[in-house]
A and B are shown apart, each in its own frame.
Chain A
Amino acid sequence: MADIVPTSASILVSTGLAAESTGGAAAQLEREVVQLFDAFRKPVLRYLLGIGLPVEDAEEIVQEVFLALFQHLRRGKARHNLRGWMFRVAHNLGLKKRKQRGMIPGAVGQHPVADPSPNPEDQYANAQQQGRLLAVVNALSEQDRACLFLRAEGLRYREITQTLGMSLGAVSISLARSIARIGRAAER
């Protein structure tokens, strides 16, 4: 069969010199950021989905967050509370993305969750309970929802205040309000 040369392709040849010039410190920093990526990618992604972003946008934002983290560390900036820093950057980028897309804060949990339970009655009961829970979460204010999802990812209240720009008292009131609503929904 005749061979076909299908396209002209772009020229892009990278050399290993760049890696050499940046030295061991840069490589070490890259490894550190990859470790943080492995540890926090999922929590940050979940948070972004929680505030209503689609998966594709959330993944793009996560890339931006960790590249920003890389730059942050390269500049020798503060290393304390990197977890709070990552969520703060993710939150701000998430709001920006939603604005760009003209999105109204979307409902969460629109995709059904696979239930591993083999018992149909259990499945039904779990789906009912989860449906009630998600309905309550969807009805929360945007700030209450953000607060709740940050708490679900294990952030301390002080980290939540820094991420959302709320006072400590406002965080505890918001969380207590959300949890009371979820609890009432679960009782029904």
Chain B
Amino acid sequence: MEREKFHLSDEELLMASDGELSPRSAKNVQSHLAACRSCRARMRVIEETIADFVDASQAAFDSRLPLAAGPRALLQAQMAAIAATHPSRRLRWTTWSPWVLAAACLAIICVSVSLIPRGGRSPRHAVVVIPRSNLTPGAVVLVSKEQVCTGEHANNRPVPVSTRRRVFQAYGIPDADARSYEVDYLITPALGGSDDIHNLWPQSYSASAWNAHVKDQLEEQLRGMVCSGDLDLTTAQREISRDWIAAYKKYLHGTTQR
């Protein structure tokens, strides 16, 4: 018993190894370790065991983790939605001074006036995130799963300037803003989408989260699922045309290894 009392406990060794002891206790433990070969050996075993466990758990789990890009985009979009619909408490109107409140009201009026359509023109800073169903319901060509999977329709053909102009006009985007958009296929040709104007919409370059890169991921995922037999082509076309962001959340949110 005397011998056991003399040696440091496992908890003391572990806490010393993790730097969790008070300075005084740490000093006492260091003094003991300097004189006790047995405790030094136990300390070494504890440190090696922790290191082995950390390595093993990281190796076991990291290989199962989906890529970060999709979840990051989803988080950014959700934060933007929260910021837009629920103003920060510190920015609530009740906390504003009358002058600030008056200025805010004036700004809202100005913005509202600018939002009133004039001759089919939309607000200057409007960012189209999801196409309007009445303008872009999506359109496909008759194509088989085999043709989709062999890549016969895989190329996004450049949209002619005249068609681009018609899309911008339909969406009420002024010429000056047209450079901020690309005209994109709602249903990608890789999934049988056609180049009809009903399948084209202006996608903003300035959309920070739900941008073309994110949509590309969805298109790749859906095509992969169609070709592997996990999803039929019609469903894939319907899902991406109905609401591509909802489709992204459904098929890629945390399930990139699906």
Q: Which positions in A face B, CB cutoff 8 Å?
A: 1-22, 25-26, 30, 33-34, 37-38, 41-42, 45-46, 49-50, 55-56, 58-60, 62-63, 66-67, 70-71, 74-76, 108-109, 111, 113-114, 130, 133-134, 137, 148-149, 151-152, 156-157, 169, 172-173, 175-176, 179-180, 182-183, 186
Residue in contact with B79 in the complex, picked from A30, A75, A130, A152, CB distance below 8 Å: A30
- Docked-complex contact A59 and B254, CB < 8 angstroms: yes
Within 8 A of A (CB), among B123-164: 123, 125-134, 136-142
For residue A65, give the distance in angstroms from its CB to the closest CB of chain B: 10
Known pairs A14-B127, A14-B129, A15-B127. 11 more at Cβ < 8 A?
A3-B196, A6-B138, A25-B88, A30-B83, A108-B60, A111-B64, A152-B57, A176-B14, A179-B50, A182-B49, A183-B45
- Docked-complex contact A3 and B254, CB < 8 angstroms: no
Q: Which positions in B face A, CB cutoff 8 Å?
A: 9-11, 13-15, 18, 20, 45-46, 49-50, 52-54, 56-66, 68, 71-72, 74-76, 78-80, 82-85, 87-90, 111, 115, 123, 125-134, 136-142, 187, 194, 196, 198, 206, 208, 234, 237-238, 241-243, 245, 253-255, 257
- Docked-complex contact B142 and A2, CB < 8 angstroms: yes
Residues of A within 8 A of B54 (CB): 152
Residue in contact with A17 in the complex, picked from B10, B111, B129, CB distance below 8 Å: B111
Complex Cα spacing A17 to B112, Å: 10
- Docked-complex contact A67 and B142, CB < 8 angstroms: no
For residue A129, give the distance in angstroms from its CB to the closest CB of chain B: 8
Residue in contact with A37 in the complex, picked from B62, B75, B134, B194, CB distance below 8 Å: B75
Chain A residue, CB-CB nearest to B47: A179
- Docked-complex contact A6 and B241, CB < 8 angstroms: yes
Top 7 A-B pairs, shortest CB-CB distance: A59-B254, A18-B84, A9-B133, A176-B10, A16-B127, A16-B125, A22-B83
Contact A179/B49 with A38-B72, A55-B64, A59-B253 known, Cβ cut-off 8 Å: yes
- Docked-complex contact B75 and A55, CB < 8 angstroms: no
Count of A-B contacts judged by CB separation below 8 Å: 220
- Docked-complex contact B68 and A60, CB < 8 angstroms: no
For residue B236, give the distance in angstroms from its CB to the closest CB of chain A: 11
For residue A2, give the distance in angstroms from its CB to the closest CB of chain B: 7
Residue in contact with B123 in the complex, picked from A1, A7, A17, A172, CB distance below 8 Å: A17
Give the dominant DSSP class at A's interface. helix
- Docked-complex contact B139 and A3, CB < 8 angstroms: yes
For residue B11, give the distance in angstroms from its CB to the closest CB of chain A: 4
**Could you jot down 5 A-B contacts, CB within 8 Å?**
A5-B137, A30-B83, A59-B253, A74-B89, A183-B49
For residue A167, give the distance in angstroms from its CB to the closest CB of chain B: 12
Residue in contact with A114 in the complex, picked from B63, B82, B137, B253, CB distance below 8 Å: B63
Complex Cα spacing A64 to B129, Å: 23
- Docked-complex contact B125 and A46, CB < 8 angstroms: no
Complex Cα spacing A137 to B53, Å: 10
- Docked-complex contact B52 and A186, CB < 8 angstroms: yes
Chain B residue, CB-CB nearest to A183: B49
- Docked-complex contact A183 and B82, CB < 8 angstroms: no
Residues of B within 8 A of A10 (CB): 130, 133, 242-243
Chain B residue, CB-CB nearest to A46: B61
Residue in contact with B74 in the complex, picked from A20, A25, A63, CB distance below 8 Å: A63
Contact A134/B87 with A12-B129, A16-B206, A63-B75 known, Cβ cut-off 8 Å: no
For residue A183, give the distance in angstroms from its CB to the closest CB of chain B: 4
Residues of A within 8 A of B133 (CB): 8-11
Contact A12/B75 with A55-B254, A70-B82, A182-B53 known, Cβ cut-off 8 Å: no
- Docked-complex contact A56 and B20, CB < 8 angstroms: no
Complex Cα spacing A25 to B76, Å: 15
Residues of A within 8 A of B138 (CB): 5-7, 9
Contact A9/B242 with A113-B59, A172-B11 known, Cβ cut-off 8 Å: yes
- Docked-complex contact B71 and A62, CB < 8 angstroms: yes
- Docked-complex contact A13 and B238, CB < 8 angstroms: no
Residues of B within 8 A of A45 (CB): 61, 65
- Docked-complex contact B238 and A55, CB < 8 angstroms: no
Residues of B within 8 A of A60 (CB): 253-254
